[in-house]
Amino acid sequence: ADSGLGVDYYGLAEDLTDAERDLWTTMRRWVDAELIPVAGGYWERAEFPYDLVPKYAQLGVVGDALVGPGIPEMSVTAAGLITMELNRGDGSFATFHGVQAGLAMRSIAFCGSDEQKERWLPAMARLEAIGAFALTEPDHGSDSVALETTARRDGDSYVLNGAKRWIGNGTICDVCVVWARGEDGQVQGFLVEKGTPGYEADVIEGKGSLRAVWNADIRLTDCRVPAENKLPGGRTFKDTARVLSATRAGIAWSALGHATAAYECALSYALQRQQFGKPIASFQLVQEKLVQMLAEVTAMQLFCLRTSRLAEQGRLTDTMASLAKMNATRKARQVLATARDLMGGNGILLEHRVMRHMADIEALHTYEGTESIQTLIIGKQLTGISAFA
């Protein structure tokens, strides 16, 4: 079941290119050596792992299969494998990476001018510039399409006013992609640079999930950005949605990473833990649980690989991405609950890892569109009837 790459019951590795397989191995080694040993501590202290950023940058893999200056070339599948492995190690660091590459770099790569791409993408790929993506507001999460932050043209600049909530990297970023409503009533994208007066961000304290990545409450008060910082390709909410649709399929890989961690932890624990004079792995009920976990992890792998291959061919639709995200986060939650059960009391201890993943999957279940919202998106496509409002 383990090809040396990790759980691979159906020989997924055979369907990968050499480059994808090598990347998977590199990522797996890095996650085992550098990320897993420190992740629990950062999580418990709710401390952002600044030390890991330059170490991770050395791998040269930040870019999420985007095309643009300074971005390492990789397939969508390779990007998925990176996402999976980072999440197998730690959901917080993986989310930092997801915001950086998946959301912030993607907004610039999809919607930016050539100058904006040249200025930001190479530095962001090297993790020398940190990005954030500010869409959600205190009063608009699932209905972010109704966002209230405004952008008003004033001479050579735009003036932003409003509030944003839950913004990953929002307190530490060099550039924040802010989505605001322009005077034409449409949602538009703006690059707000570090130190811009009128941009104030506070870390949201007290999270019980993804504790080591910092989310911000942001206030924009007459925040003036030069006109050249408007994203020329970010003209309507459709452009924002294009970014989100691409990252949504990535969340399926993230959920797979969490489920893989759960399965690996539970299997090794069940083999080593003795009760009634035998390893608990020898009991039929325990084996049934392990097999169910493997079945879900394997199904998720096939789902994810197919999703990425479709994306590579330009055939992945928004609803296909929604289905992948919805199904994977749902299944990962179940796998994590089973792993926690199999590890008994130790299952609730952070040192045994599963509890951290169990807490972290709750954020994935919600962010980038909740399970219910993904379901309604697919339901609308199936029936032709919108059940949103």
Q: Binding to ligand FAD by residue 167, rule CB under 6 A?
A: yes
Closest to ligand FAD by CB, 303 or 367: 367
Binding mask 112-141 for ligand FAD (x = CB under 6 A): ---------------------xxxx----x
**Residues of this chain, 269-328, that bind ligand FAD according to CB under 6 A:** none
Q: Binding to ligand FAD by residue 373, rule CB under 6 A?
A: yes
Q: Binding to ligand FAD by residue 177, rule CB under 6 A?
A: no
**Residues of this chain, 74-93, that bind ligand FAD according to CB under 6 A:** none
Report in angstroms how near the CB of residue 364 gets to ligand FAD at its nearest: 8
Q: Binding to ligand FAD by residue 217, rule CB under 6 A?
A: no
Closest to ligand FAD by CB, 6 or 182: 182
Choosing from 61, 74, 78, 210, the residue that interacts with ligand FAD (CB under 6 A) is 210
Choosing from 24, 166, 190, 199, the residue that interacts with ligand FAD (CB under 6 A) is 166
Q: Binding to ligand FAD by residue 372, rule CB under 6 A?
A: yes
Q: Binding to ligand FAD by residue 168, rule CB under 6 A?
A: yes
Report in angstroms how near the CB of residue 128 gets to ligand FAD at its nearest: 20
Q: Binding to ligand FAD by residue 368, rule CB under 6 A?
A: yes
**Residues of this chain, 139-158, that bind ligand FAD according to CB under 6 A:** 141-142
How crowded is the C-beta side of 358, counted as CA atoms within 13 Å? 21
Report in angstroms how near the CB of residue 213 gets to ligand FAD at its nearest: 7
Report in angstroms how near the CB of residue 355 gets to ligand FAD at its nearest: 17
Give the binding-site size for ligand FAD (rule: CB under 6 A): 22
Torsion of CA 361, 363, 366, 368, to 10 degrees: -100
Report in angstroms how near the CB of residue 135 gets to ligand FAD at its nearest: 3
**Residues of this chain, 344-363, that bind ligand FAD according to CB under 6 A:** 363
Closest to ligand FAD by CB, 35 or 134: 134
Residues that bind ligand FAD in the complex, under the rule CB under 6 A:
99, 133-136, 141-142, 166-168, 210, 215, 363, 366-370, 372-373, 376, 388
